[in-house]
């Protein structure tokens, strides 16, 4: 079968991890895949997760199937986290949430569901965006188009071009937005800008699809949902793909959710019925463990407080590494103003490194950076920061 078939290209992010693992250089540094690491380069299991697993080990008495839409306690807690406990969206029952295998699974379920009812729609993605967004929505059958987002000159959002473009998008098209901690740029809209984008969606009638994979990595769990609140306030339809990979460190448990918000509870029930029929033919029902862990933590005030603390530690360490990188580059006399790195939010920085520099760093220093120059700040540690800054300074001096 495969004799005349060309191999598929390696994944631009996971392929890097594979290459990193094979690299024999003891000084190698992985600044690629978006996974948190502590200062010893370990991706820890959070203490709150360990505690919840202990509870589950004693309490769990069956491995029978979950419902198609997953654990109801999980869904309830996901909604509280997404919208805030006292949100009108929750009290009016106009959100339908299904547990999904990771944020990617949620995006794909959403894509397949939207394709059923908007077969001719375009999906609009930010320029740039997470590489897998393209694959997910192309595979769901959509034509893609880009809206302007990141301006490399100003290292900021090109808000004028973005809004001008969003005003041309017709009703029924889908606009994919990063709810916070934009991947790959690390550059977010401010609150006032979110208000304007939500207004445009209401006026034009396009459907917002928020990818919310980094709640808590920007400012805080509460502050990071500002974008979601603005779309909720429109009273219209929108989608949210959320993930607990990063903020609970549940990467390999594939713990995410797709939430569909509709204007009324009646419409929401219809949305849920289609959400379930979409899921049934892809993976039938979700894996349980990660969802049970998250639900246990989110519904226990003590574990919840512990989680917020551990999340804060991750967020603060990444921020400290932003400053350390900027200081390190300045100390080495690297030309240019790198202060924008400290203004970016979430796990990533669009470093501005060219593809030649990215290739050179990998080849000569075993420093792995995603093509396009995205750096995962969490890959930096007090032990490797000097090595990385030396490497970048040397690479740039050769330009």
The residue ranges that bind ligand LMR (CB under 6 A) are 13, 33-34, 130, 132, 183
**Choice among 158, 211, 224, 237 that is catalytic:** 211
Between 250 and 303, name the residue whose CB sits nearer to ligand LMR: 250
- Judge whether 133 and 175 are in contact, CB under 8 Å: no
Between 37 and 165, name the residue whose CB sits nearer to ligand LMR: 37
**Choice among 124, 130, 194, 307 that is catalytic:** 130
**What size, in residues, is the chain?**
399
CB atoms within 10 A of CB 175: 24
- Judge whether 146 and 180 are in contact, CB under 8 Å: no
- Judge whether 264 and 270 are in contact, CB under 8 Å: no
Does the annotation mark 307 as catalytic? no
Long-range contacts of 160-167 (CB under 8 A, 24+ apart): 162/197, 163/196, 163/197, 163/200, 165/124, 166/124, 166/197, 166/200, 166/201, 166/204, 166/206, 167/200, 167/203, 167/204
The least CB distance from residue 17 to ligand LMR, in Å, is 9
C-alpha span between 222 and 189 (Å, rounded): 16
The least CB distance from residue 132 to ligand LMR, in Å, is 6
The least CB distance from residue 370 to ligand LMR, in Å, is 7
Residues 6+ apart with CB under 8 A from 294: 52, 74, 77, 78, 244, 248, 250, 255
Phi-psi region of 98 (alpha: psi -120 to 50; beta: other; left: phi over 0): beta
- Judge whether 399 and 356 are in contact, CB under 8 Å: yes
DSSP codes joined into one string, 70-107: --HHHHHHHHHHHH-TT-HHHHTT-EEEEEESHHHHHH
Between 136 and 295, name the residue whose CB sits nearer to ligand LMR: 136
Does the annotation mark 211 as catalytic? yes
Residues 6+ apart with CB under 8 A from 200: 163, 166, 167
C-alpha span between 126 and 233 (Å, rounded): 23
The least CB distance from residue 374 to ligand LMR, in Å, is 8
**Choice among 246, 307, 360, 365 that is catalytic:** 246
Does the annotation mark 71 as catalytic? no
Between 348 and 387, name the residue whose CB sits nearer to ligand LMR: 348
Between 110 and 200, name the residue whose CB sits nearer to ligand LMR: 110
Between 11 and 112, name the residue whose CB sits nearer to ligand LMR: 11
Between 200 and 290, name the residue whose CB sits nearer to ligand LMR: 290
The least CB distance from residue 257 to ligand LMR, in Å, is 16
Backbone angles phi, psi at 262, to 5 degrees: -125, 165
The least CB distance from residue 202 to ligand LMR, in Å, is 29
Between 13 and 228, name the residue whose CB sits nearer to ligand LMR: 13
The least CB distance from residue 37 to ligand LMR, in Å, is 13
Taking CB atoms, the residue at the shortest distance from ligand LMR is: 34
CB atoms within 10 A of CB 278: 21
The least CB distance from residue 250 to ligand LMR, in Å, is 13
Q: Which two tokens stand for residue 191?
A: 């609150």
CA nearest neighbour of 374 among 157, 161, 123, 181: 181
Which residues are part of the catalytic machinery? 130, 211, 246
């Amino acid at each position: 079968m495969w004799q005349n078939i060309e191999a598929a290209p390696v994944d631009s992010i996971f392929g890097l991890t594979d290459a990193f693992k094979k690299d024999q250089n003891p000084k190698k540094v992985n600044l690629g895949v978006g996974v948190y690491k502590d200062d010893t380069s370990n991706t820890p299991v959070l203490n709150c997760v360990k505690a919840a697993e202990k509870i589950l080990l004693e309490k769990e008495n069956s491995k029978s199937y979950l419902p198609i839409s997953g654990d109801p306690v999980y869904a309830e807690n996901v909604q509280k986290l997404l919208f805030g406990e006292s949100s009108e969206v929750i009290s009016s029952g106009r959100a339908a949430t299904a547990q999904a295998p990771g944020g990617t699974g949620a995006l794909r379920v959403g894509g397949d569901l939207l394709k059923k009812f908007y077969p001719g729609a375009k999906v609009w993605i930010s320029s740039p965006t997470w590489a897998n967004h393209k694959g997910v929505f192309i595979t769901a059958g959509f034509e893609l188009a880009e809206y302007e987002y990141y301006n490399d000159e100003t290292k900021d959002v090109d808000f004028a071009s973005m809004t001008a473009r969003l005003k041309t998008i017709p009703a029924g098209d889908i606009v994919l937005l990063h709810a916070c901690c934009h991947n790959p740029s690390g550059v977010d809209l401010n609150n006032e800008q979110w208000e304007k984008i939500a207004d445009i969606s209401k006026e034009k009638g396009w459907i917002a699809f928020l990818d919310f994979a980094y709640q808590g990595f920007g400012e805080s769990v509460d502050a990071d949902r500002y974008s979601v609140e603005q779309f909720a306030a429109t009273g219209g339809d929108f989608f949210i793909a959320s993930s607990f990979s990063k903020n609970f460190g549940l990467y390999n448990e594939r713990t995410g959710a797709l939430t569909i918000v509709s204007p009324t509870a009646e419409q929401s029930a219809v949305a849920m019925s289609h959400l379930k029929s979409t899921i049934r033919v892809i993976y039938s029902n979700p894996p349980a463990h990660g969802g049970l862990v998250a639900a246990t933590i989110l519904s226990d005030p003590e574990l919840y407080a512990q989680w917020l603390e551990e999340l804060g530690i991750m967020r603060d360490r990444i921020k400290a590494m932003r400053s350390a990188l900027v200081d390190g580059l300045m100390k080495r006399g690297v030309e240019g103003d790198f202060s924008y790195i400290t203004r970016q939010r979430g796990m990533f920085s669009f470093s501005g490194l060219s593809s030649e520099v990215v290739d050179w760093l990998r080849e000569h220093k075993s420093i792995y950076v995603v093509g396009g120059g995205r750096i995962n700040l969490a890959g930096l540690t007090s032990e490797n920061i000097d090595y990385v800054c030396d490497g970048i300074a040397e690479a740039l001096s050769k330009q």
